[in-house]
Amino acid sequence: MSDEPAVRELRLVVTAADYDEALRFYRDVLGLPERAAYSSPGGRVTILEAGRATLELTDPGHAAFIDDVEVGHRVAGHIRIAFEVGDSATATAKLAAAGAEVLAEPRRTPWNSLNSRLEAPGALQLTLFEELDTP
């Protein structure tokens, strides 16, 4: 039996009605490097690097708790994307200036990170989190 994991990459595929705006936002503003781009007779796709991927599974009660901590009330659908950034306040301001709607400014969480919440292109809700060293 091999020690190699069965899954080598998590790829989240988002169909964005405004592809150019979503590409500009995630690649050019958030800074996700472009790995590859392809086109078909009727469309385009770009694969962006997003660092290390994890799959976070939560039950509805804990999802409501996270929303309450980050935003103050339940706002997320069943999928929310979280990006670890070096400075959540700066990243939040930068993404807001590029068209994301800030649902909650960065705030310290019980798990000692500084989290903000945004509604972003591609109809995605984002958490930006900055890991803090000291409580």
Q: Which residues, in sequence order, are CB contacts of 99 under 8 Å at separation 6+?
A: 21, 25, 121
Confidence of residue 135 (pLDDT cuts 50, 70, 90): low
CA 91 to chain centre: 12
Dump pLDDT digits (tens) for 83-134.
999 999 999 999 999 999 999 999 999 999 999 999 999 999 999 999 998 6
User: In this predicted structure, what is the pLDDT of residue 5?
Assistant: 81
88 neighbors 130 (Cβ within 8 angstroms): yes
